Amino acid sequence: MTTDAPEVVGEIAALRERLGAARAAGARIALVPTMGALHDGHLALVDRARELADVVVVSIFVNPLQFGAGEDLDRYPRTLDADVAALASRGVDLVFAPTAREMYPRGDVSTRITAGPVGDRYEGSSRPGHFDGMLTVVAKLLHIAMPDVALFGRKDAQQVFLVERMVADLDVPTVIEVVETVREDDGLALSSRNRFLDEPHRRAALALSEALRAASDAAAEGLAEALAEAAAAFGDHDDAELDYFVIVDPATLLPVADDFRGEALALVAARVGGTRLIDNAPLTL
């Protein structure tokens, strides 16, 4: 484990060379894929990676393929120097920070991973093509780094579901490790996009976690009651515009039936000011 600044590598060949040597020496490799603008949620992934592997690689790449026209690709925060400084104190060995040209030398790809029907729901419904682009870059990163384990945050529940499906469907020999969402004291899930929120919008953003808590508290009374309580809690925040609040079966990510009883997952997305936020929580109906 290192405590120095990680080596920053921009080229695929250079990363492969470093990791090939480590692998040949018997090292176990962990990959933490990120788009940078790191916060404590990312650092929790890194800390878990450190426990699981000898060599920890963090990729920092704002992947154009997963942003649609009119989304926030251009304004997505890019803070590489601060990110590398934050990772230095966590014993990260390598930061892979390629350019878009390095990842997509032909400008676009003609081969994409297709997320399937679940990829068209929820986030996919508001962001067509998002999950195909996300899975395509994750597949590329897994091929490039060939890690023993790759770590993802539970806040992006649909992303986690689809990455796990891709790895299973395509027999990718990487273990996917999911790390719990890190929250502020008042419940707001950490997100790189939280930095866009001014103070009134920061308060409005609590609509998501409060709706999730209300649904969870009412879950024992059944689906209709859980959804009604979530809607009431969300409605307390005028500046938050609900995109969806849905309760799904974690095994399929499909909405549960009205009489469903058992472990379920609530997913929520909203726009707060110009910022799109998502969150989720398990509950028992």
Among 19, 22, 34, 275, the residue binding ligand PAF under the rule CB under 6 A is: 34
Establish if 138 lies at the interface with ligand PAF (CB under 6 A): yes
- Give the count of residues interacting with ligand PAF (CB under 6 A): 10
Residue 280 to residues 98, 110, 137, 193, 243, Cα–Cα distance (Å): 31, 33, 24, 16, 13
Q: Tell me the two tokens of residue 195.
A: 């930095």
Is 37 known to sit in a ligand binding site?
A: yes
Counted residue by residue, the chain has a size of: 285
138: alpha, beta or left? (left if phi > 0; alpha if psi -120 to 50): alpha
Is 39 known to sit in a ligand binding site?
A: yes
Angle at 190 between CA 211 and CA 255, to 5 degrees: 40
Binding mask 56-85 for ligand PAF (x = CB under 6 A): -------x--x-------------------
User: For this structure, is 42 an active site residue?
Assistant: yes
Local structure of 120: helix, strand or coil: helix
Among 156, 210, 229, 279, the residue binding ligand PAF under the rule CB under 6 A is: 156
Applying CB under 6 A, which part among 31-39, 93-101, 180-188, 239-247 lies near ligand PAF? 31-39
Establish if 33 lies at the interface with ligand PAF (CB under 6 A): yes
Rounded CA Rg of the chain? 19
Establish if 134 lies at the interface with ligand PAF (CB under 6 A): yes
CA distance 186 to 188: 6
Establish if 15 lies at the interface with ligand PAF (CB under 6 A): no
Report the interface residues with ligand PAF, using CB under 6 A. Answer: 33-35, 63, 66, 134, 137-138, 156, 159
Residues making up the annotated binding site for (R)-pantoate are 66, 159
